Structure 1
Amino acid sequence: MMPTRRALGAAALASLAAPAVHAQAPWPSRSVRMLVGFAPGGFTDIVARAVAEQYTTLLGQNFVVENRSGASGTIAADAVAKSPADGSVLLLGHSTPNAVSAALFSNLPFDPLRDLTAVAQIAVHPHLLVVPTASPHRTTESLIAAARVRPGAVSYCSAGIGSVHHTACSMLAQKAGVEFTHVPYRGSAPAMADLVAGRVDMTIEGINTVGPLIADGRLRPLAAGTLARIAVLPDLTTLQEQGYGDIDAASWVGIFGPAGLPAEIVATLGRASDQAMLAPAMQRILTSGGSIPASRRGAEFRDFLALEIERYKAVLGDGKVAL
């Protein structure tokens, strides 16, 4: 009788355990927080909200954007790196905290490759050198001449220390042999407000952010910050063409999760990202400002990130860029 009882007991336990496995809801089974490392109103925030809206529609749960600005986006990235790898918290990452910071800061509290899972690159943003329309400088040469006459008199804004804007302007100063004064902000939106108002003199910023301000006459472009000319402004010469070296200022945004994010969640987000990029609203936000939609997913995105970090280390690791 005893073997029969054991067999029946085991069968009963198996029958109880099986439904628990099959009853597990597919991800996402609840709202997902998407952290952004910059202030509301900037282009990174705008893209995050557009992506969150698409994910909400496609995946049937709310994706809620949460801004945690500061430290050039690394506060939000670190928070996600330290979050549970269950898909409840994601990051709309940016090239500044996810690549540039690894080349600048020896005490970064997280490792962008080891502590985060690269999921989907969303867009690449070419950058422009711009000044307020009230600026007396109509050429890069004029701007550089003013900085040469009065070292430190020409100021530039950025989204924070270590941002792409910061490193690009520092590189321009290095290539031109002049000194600029850096004025960091907690994101592009407040930086642009002060630039337009003339409280700072210049910046090198993404076309998605400065494009509308150029179109309505509040900013004047002096050069493309990329090696190739920008398609939406084909007559604007590059800094390299103007004689300031091989500066290639572009940033990107993408989706990340904590390290160890399950492969099925990565795959689900990859498919949702592909579908989101086809949505007219998403295409309008990206392409109307001159951004380039990106298609790197999963391992391909991680490989790209590793190369980006090494590229920034090669540029910034020589200690010649003022930080």
Structure 2
Amino acid sequence: MIARRCFGAAALSALALPALAQTAWPRRPVRMLVGFAPGGFADIVARAIAEQYSQSLAVNVVVENRSGASGTLATDVVAKAPPDGSVLLLGHSTPNAVAAALFSNLPYDPLNDLTPIAQIAVHPHLLVVPAASPYRTTAALIDAARARPGSISYASSGIGSVHHVACATLAQKAGVELVHVPYRGSAPAMADLLAARVDMTIDGVSAVAGPIGEGTLRPLAAGTLARIDRWPDMPTLQEQGYGEIDAMSWVGVFGPPGLPPGLVQAAVAATDQAMASATMRRVLDGASTIPATRRSAEFRDFVALEISRYKAVLGNSQIAL
């Protein structure tokens, strides 16, 4: 129901495209940077939205992956790019919100050094282990970690990623030690989890749904406060007694600081048109994500709230990049 309402709003907004897109996009190739490796949720969405932008804005939009440092490398490039429409960012909750709470030497200000354009989707996460794992419940996994401190490892897409924060929060609330193994994106982290080189992770539905269906991963709990529609019988970590853990990431489009209002309006209109397309519906439905309708100033307000929320949980600037 939520998804249908959001797409309905996007479809109505798309009708306003001719009125909003008064400023033509500069006729030059556009790079859309992604801060994570190919194959992950952010990369999948970036490629879909870039294809739609290419059609709506009548320019060639090419996705460029610059993975590393939990997505902050790509974000910093866009934060320092000229506001001429040649560079965009498919932003993610990790470099655009979590990083402000986590890193002491972040080279950009997520609120002031980027122009929020459009939030695209929100993505729920869940706790999974390899199918061959001896742990069939969250309690068994936590009991093993308690009995043998440092024996249970978890994968993440990088220091400060939603996966990292969620697993670290679980360890804190359960009173156990879990060993963090960071990777340069969700895809390589998932590859090692499937190979049982690490014991667990809390990752997004788009990354784990396929392996769960194939029987190569075992889900233990929803990482969100509410149960996930795709697995309505799976209890949340909160229901299992581990406190308020809400592992949910989001993605959205940002521009460099000072992007002219006319270009922002054109990109917003192109986003709304894209969200009404069958292509984007297939991509987001396939990833079990919730379409998002926050645009421009409303999106910026949301990012500010996210930063405040993570600072309340994590403190302020505790780790150096």
Same fold (TM over 0.5): yes
Could you say which residue in structure 2 is the equivalent of 1:235?
233
Question: Per-residue deviation at 1:30?
Answer: 1.3
Does the CA-based 8 Å contact 2:102-2:317 persist in structure 1?
no
Match of 2:183 among 178, 182, 185: 185
- The SS at the match of 1:141 is helix
Could you say which residue in structure 2 is the equivalent of 1:132?
130
Question: How many Å separate the matches in 2 of 1:151 and 1:194?
Answer: 21
Could you say which residue in structure 1 is the equivalent of 2:28?
30
Does the CA-based 8 Å contact 2:93-2:162 persist in structure 1?
yes
Q: Mark the CA change 1:307 to 1:80 in structure 2 (over 3 Å): closer, same or farther.
A: same
Could you say which residue in structure 1 is the equivalent of 2:87?
89
- The SS at the match of 1:121 is strand
Question: How many Å separate the matches in 1 of 2:41 and 2:185?
Answer: 9
Runs of 4+ residues over 3 Å off in structure 1: 318-321
Question: Per-residue deviation at 1:28?
Answer: 3.1
Code of the aligned partner of 2:152: V
Does the CA-based 8 Å contact 2:102-2:316 persist in structure 1?
no
Question: How many Å separate the matches in 1 of 2:168 and 2:216?
Answer: 24
Does the CA-based 8 Å contact 1:90-1:255 persist in structure 2?
yes
Question: How many Å separate the matches in 2 of 1:230 and 1:152?
Answer: 30
Does the CA-based 8 Å contact 2:158-2:164 persist in structure 1?
yes
Percent pairwise identity: 71
- Greater shift, 247-256 or 52-61, is seen at 52-61
Question: How many Å separate the matches in 1 of 2:75 and 2:299?
Answer: 17
Question: How many Å separate the matches in 2 of 1:245 and 1:230?
Answer: 17
Question: Per-residue deviation at 1:319?
Answer: 9.2
Code of the aligned partner of 1:267: Q
Match of 2:299 among 298, 301, 318: 301
The aligned runs of 1:37-52 (5 Å cut-off) are: 37-52=35-50
The aligned runs of 1:124-273 (5 Å cut-off) are: 124-273=122-271
Larger RCO (CA within 8 A; separation ≥ 6): 2
- TM-score of the two chains, using structure 2 as the length reference: 0.91
Question: Per-residue deviation at 1:26?
Answer: 2.5
Does the CA-based 8 Å contact 1:72-1:96 persist in structure 2?
yes
Code of the aligned partner of 1:189: A
- Greater shift, 180-189 or 37-46, is seen at 37-46
Does the CA-based 8 Å contact 2:169-2:245 persist in structure 1?
yes
Could you say which residue in structure 2 is the equivalent of 1:104?
102
Code of the aligned partner of 2:295: R
Render the CA deviation track for 1:265-288: whole Å, top value 9, x for unaligned: 111111111110111121111112
Render the CA deviation track for 1:241-282: whole Å, top value 9, x for unaligned: 000000011000000011100001111111111110111121
Question: How many Å separate the matches in 2 of 1:125 and 1:72?
Answer: 17
Code of the aligned partner of 2:169: M
Question: Per-residue deviation at 1:61?
Answer: 0.9
- Greater shift, 296-305 or 284-293, is seen at 284-293
- The SS at the match of 1:248 is coil
Question: How many Å separate the matches in 2 of 1:210 and 1:198?
Answer: 14
Code of the aligned partner of 2:39: G
Code of the aligned partner of 1:224: A
Question: How many Å separate the matches in 2 of 1:50 and 1:289?
Answer: 12
- The SS at the match of 1:160 is coil
- The SS at the match of 2:187 is helix
Could you say which residue in structure 2 is the equivalent of 1:310?
308
Unaligned runs of 5+ in 1: 1-24
Question: How many Å separate the matches in 1 of 2:295 and 2:317?
Answer: 33
Could you say which residue in structure 2 is the equivalent of 1:67?
65
- Provide the aligned length of Structure 1 versus Structure 2: 298
Code of the aligned partner of 1:288: G
Does the CA-based 8 Å contact 2:91-2:252 persist in structure 1?
yes
- TM-score of the two chains, using structure 1 as the length reference: 0.90
Question: Per-residue deviation at 1:289?
Answer: 2.2
Code of the aligned partner of 2:77: A
Could you say which residue in structure 2 is the equivalent of 1:3?
none
Q: Mark the CA change 1:320 to 1:179 in structure 2 (over 3 Å): closer, same or farther.
A: farther
Question: How many Å separate the matches in 2 of 1:90 and 1:205?
Answer: 25
- Greater shift, 54-63 or 91-100, is seen at 54-63
Could you say which residue in structure 1 is the equivalent of 2:14?
none
Question: How many Å separate the matches in 1 of 2:287 and 2:31?
Answer: 26
Question: How many Å separate the matches in 2 of 1:43 and 1:226?
Answer: 17
Code of the aligned partner of 1:259: P
Does the CA-based 8 Å contact 1:121-1:297 persist in structure 2?
yes
Unaligned runs of 5+ in 2: 1-22
Question: How many Å separate the matches in 1 of 2:172 and 2:156?
Answer: 17
Question: Per-residue deviation at 1:213?
Answer: 1.4
Question: How many Å separate the matches in 1 of 2:179 and 2:104?
Answer: 24
RMSD: 1.5
Does the CA-based 8 Å contact 1:174-1:320 persist in structure 2?
no
